[in-house]
Chain A
């Protein structure tokens, strides 16, 4: 014990006993730590044993000890997803029952739709349309006001739900004739109409060459029925507007010739059955809110 002076050397400077360890004349003082520290250490060991019993801990030959709670990151994820579903349930019933117009005018449902739609968009749509819905070659930009199949809430909803040239029975579908591949127009005619179409957005300011005038005639006979006499397009058949400077497959001469000779007929899948109707509604609201919505 500490007061057993016969057995312990006391350091004269500090008055503290030494442990008896000595290195080249340096002696180690013994300042005992409080005993409860030791108890806390033992308590952590007991805690660890309890932890092993409750949580996965030790590897075995075939796997690992699962613990009584059978906890896993996956089960925790499921639990958290359950919490999110429960949080959504508060809105979901009302949201499912509401039509798009009601949602658009209800601040709570609108925010719910935009938040949910933004996530669903990134998970399902961003691969083609881009994370900011800015589109790309062959994939429409959803921020602008140039719509193939219409930009009202209902039209957007229908497009997402049934897709374009998709496998759905109710898919939006139309087919532009392959004017070049099927020999419907001659090379000269295609070149002429391409020049006309390329200059359409310039309106009266376009330079009216002979080719231009010829193209105008070809356009009136072959294209105007779908794309409109002035090139306004027709959203009922998904015919793009041609009198603006927004091009899905490129606006240079070669691209336009290619589009006339070998039309692309892009496909958007049907999301019915893959996404819940509620999610499709959220997406419609979200896409509409990007700025191009009518």
Chain B
């Protein structure tokens, strides 16, 4: 039996000091970071003219007014299904990218990766590369260590502050809010958002880093469900690399693998894993080990690709071909059942949303037949039904609508609303919902049925556009 007292059930985070590297994938990562951060920070400042009665911010989620603006699209709370569609598209898009290219989202586009990368670069700038940072951390506190650490953390905090600061611009007019922030005159809710996101950015990108991907992120865990043998992964070509051993200039490559055991792939890895152990859950497929290994292969004069973007099928085909001394053409199978049905879902949801947006009317009508009471008998013997009628005017100008009823030729219509309006001129203010109580009465001698399906037709007096809503007229139990 071993000694149970010696066992640790909780282990301290092993600090990872990734080495700086340059190469094709590192370049791609910088590019992705630049584009994504630029989008994040600058998009709220884009303007879009919507006339004098609406905000001119291209992308704006206006919570108090219950409106979301996206360029020419304006979403009302009644149309929240567009958000659902967008979320479905985002989720399936992510699944699609994953089954096609593996964890590219994790390696290049995830905010956790993007900000961690930026924070590591700040560390590099003030404290030097891997070895220098390790030495500095081990060294006792002194003036040198103090200023380097201080500068790093201040820069981190500034970046974090910008992150939280940019977020709130999506929910309020950016120039106005920027002015308010400058004068420390913002509501506590805005301030708490800025503070919360500053703190979370600082902690997540500064300290938590790979722990987020390994222990917090659910997506990292279930991505393996989207993997198949043709999914792009980071692979170490073990048959070519092994047995690994160190290599001096001029030594023969006979009887040994191409891996020179330089550990570069391990030291650049932001997740702190050794890719030569095979595909691991922690791997975010950022490709930095590929850059590192290729650099080393250049130095020793061997071809690239000992560590590479690979697929399981390619690995198997390559190994089989090598045994027979043949060469193999590697291929990336893009059209697979998985990618096809993800594409299908994206196409269907995308088309539905597009159809919805294209056929979207500038106004919409809703009618609700009163249930309590279902009908009312009047002194004249006539029967009256009442309806709650709503007209959503999505335009930024006031509109007049006229209301007609089809299916009850002898019905008399009366509108119960402020100012006792006439059914031919129902005024609905810009960007709002007009509510009217519509009373329909049918004379005693016209009461031939128990209930009748009828149609209300709403016409926009300015544009002539119409919309019909169906309801019923009840005359007896």
- Chain A interface (Cβ within 8 Å of chain B)? 1-2, 4, 7-9, 17-20, 30, 32-38, 104-107, 109-111, 130-132, 134, 141, 143-146, 201, 241, 244-246, 289-293
> Across the interface, do B419 and A17 meet the contact criterion of CB distance under 8 Å?
no
Are A34 and B377 CB-contacts (below 8 A) given A104-B419, A291-B439?
Answer: no
Main secondary structure of the interface of A (DSSP, over half): loop
> Across the interface, do B416 and A9 meet the contact criterion of CB distance under 8 Å?
no
**Other A-B pairs, 7, CB within 8 Å; known A32-B11, A130-B372, A132-B373:** A33-B10, A34-B13, A36-B211, A106-B418, A110-B419, A111-B418, A245-B377
Question: In the complex the two chains form, what is the Cα distance from A141 to B373 in whole Å?
Answer: 10
> A246: which of B9, B371, B372, B377 is its contact (CB, 8 Å)?
B377
> Across the interface, do A132 and B370 meet the contact criterion of CB distance under 8 Å?
yes
18 residue pairs bridging A and B, Cβ less than 8 Å apart? A17-B7, A19-B4, A30-B7, A32-B9, A32-B10, A38-B10, A105-B419, A107-B418, A107-B419, A111-B435, A131-B372, A144-B376, A145-B379, A146-B378, A291-B384, A291-B414, A291-B437, A292-B376
Chain A residues with CB under 8 A of B4: 19-20
Question: In the complex the two chains form, what is the Cα distance from A241 to B378 in whole Å?
Answer: 12
> Across the interface, do B10 and A143 meet the contact criterion of CB distance under 8 Å?
no
Among B7-30, those with CB < 8 Å from A are 7-13
> Across the interface, do B13 and A36 meet the contact criterion of CB distance under 8 Å?
yes
Chain B residues with CB under 8 A of A130: 372
* B1 close to A (CB within 8 Å): yes
> Across the interface, do B378 and A145 meet the contact criterion of CB distance under 8 Å?
yes
Question: In the complex the two chains form, what is the Cα distance from A244 to B379 in whole Å?
Answer: 5
Are A141 and B376 CB-contacts (below 8 A) given A9-B2, A106-B418?
Answer: yes
10 cross-chain pairs, A with B, having the tightest CB-CB distances, nearest first: A132-B372, A110-B418, A244-B379, A134-B373, A32-B11, A107-B418, A20-B2, A143-B376, A35-B10, A105-B419
> A1: which of B1, B8, B370 is its contact (CB, 8 Å)?
B8
* B359 close to A (CB within 8 Å): no
> Across the interface, do B11 and A35 meet the contact criterion of CB distance under 8 Å?
yes
Are A7 and B377 CB-contacts (below 8 A) given A34-B215, A105-B419, A131-B372?
Answer: no
> B12: which of A35, A104, A291 is its contact (CB, 8 Å)?
A35
Are A134 and B372 CB-contacts (below 8 A) given A34-B13, A35-B13, A107-B418?
Answer: yes
* B380 close to A (CB within 8 Å): yes
Looking across the interface, which residue of chain B has its beta carbon closest to that of A135?
A: B373
> A7: which of B2, B376, B414 is its contact (CB, 8 Å)?
B2
Question: In the complex the two chains form, what is the Cα distance from A201 to B10 in whole Å?
Answer: 91
Q: How far is the CB of B237 from chain A (nearest CB, A)?
A: 22
B 291-315 to A, binary, CB cutoff 8 A, 1 in contact else 0: 0000000000000000000000000
- Chain B interface (Cβ within 8 Å of chain A)? 1-4, 6-13, 208, 211, 215, 370-373, 376-381, 384, 386, 414, 416-420, 435, 437, 439
Question: In the complex the two chains form, what is the Cα distance from A34 to B207 in whole Å?
Answer: 13
> Across the interface, do B416 and A246 meet the contact criterion of CB distance under 8 Å?
no
Looking across the interface, which residue of chain A has its beta carbon closest to that of B11?
A: A32
> Across the interface, do A144 and B211 meet the contact criterion of CB distance under 8 Å?
no
Looking across the interface, which residue of chain A has its beta carbon closest to that of B4?
A: A20
> Across the interface, do A244 and B380 meet the contact criterion of CB distance under 8 Å?
yes
Are A20 and B7 CB-contacts (below 8 A) given A104-B418, A132-B373, A143-B373?
Answer: yes
Chain B residues with CB under 8 A of A8: 2-3, 6-7
> B7: which of A19, A111, A245 is its contact (CB, 8 Å)?
A19
Question: In the complex the two chains form, what is the Cα distance from A32 to B377 in whole Å?
Answer: 78
Chain B residues with CB under 8 A of A292: 376
Question: In the complex the two chains form, what is the Cα distance from A171 to B208 in whole Å?
Answer: 76
> Across the interface, do B373 and A4 meet the contact criterion of CB distance under 8 Å?
no
> Across the interface, do B7 and A34 meet the contact criterion of CB distance under 8 Å?
no
Question: In the complex the two chains form, what is the Cα distance from A132 to B2 in whole Å?
Answer: 78
Q: How far is the CB of B399 from chain A (nearest CB, A)?
A: 15
Chain B residues with CB under 8 A of A131: 372
Question: In the complex the two chains form, what is the Cα distance from A266 to B332 in whole Å?
Answer: 88
> Across the interface, do A34 and B6 meet the contact criterion of CB distance under 8 Å?
no
Most buried by A among B10, B12, B437: B10
Chain A residues with CB under 8 A of B11: 2, 32-35
Q: How far is the CB of B199 from chain A (nearest CB, A)?
A: 14
Question: In the complex the two chains form, what is the Cα distance from A289 to B211 in whole Å?
Answer: 63
Chain B residues with CB under 8 A of A2: 8, 11
Chain B residues with CB under 8 A of A293: 416
Q: How far is the CB of A81 from chain B (nearest CB, A)?
A: 22
Q: How far is the CB of B437 from chain A (nearest CB, A)?
A: 6
> B381: which of A7, A38, A244 is its contact (CB, 8 Å)?
A244
> Across the interface, do B416 and A291 meet the contact criterion of CB distance under 8 Å?
yes
Q: How far is the CB of B272 from chain A (nearest CB, A)?
A: 13
Chain B residues with CB under 8 A of A291: 376, 384, 386, 414, 416, 437, 439
Chain B residues with CB under 8 A of A32: 8-11
Most buried by A among B12, B372, B373, B439: B373
Question: In the complex the two chains form, what is the Cα distance from A39 to B420 in whole Å?
Answer: 67
Q: How far is the CB of B211 from chain A (nearest CB, A)?
A: 6
Are A4 and B6 CB-contacts (below 8 A) given A36-B13, A111-B435?
Answer: yes
Q: How far is the CB of A228 from chain B (nearest CB, A)?
A: 13
Looking across the interface, which residue of chain B has its beta carbon closest to that of A9?
A: B2
Most buried by A among B6, B12, B439: B6
Question: In the complex the two chains form, what is the Cα distance from A30 to B9 in whole Å?
Answer: 7
Chain B residues with CB under 8 A of A289: 416, 437
> Across the interface, do B3 and A20 meet the contact criterion of CB distance under 8 Å?
yes
Looking across the interface, which residue of chain A has its beta carbon closest to that of B8?
A: A32
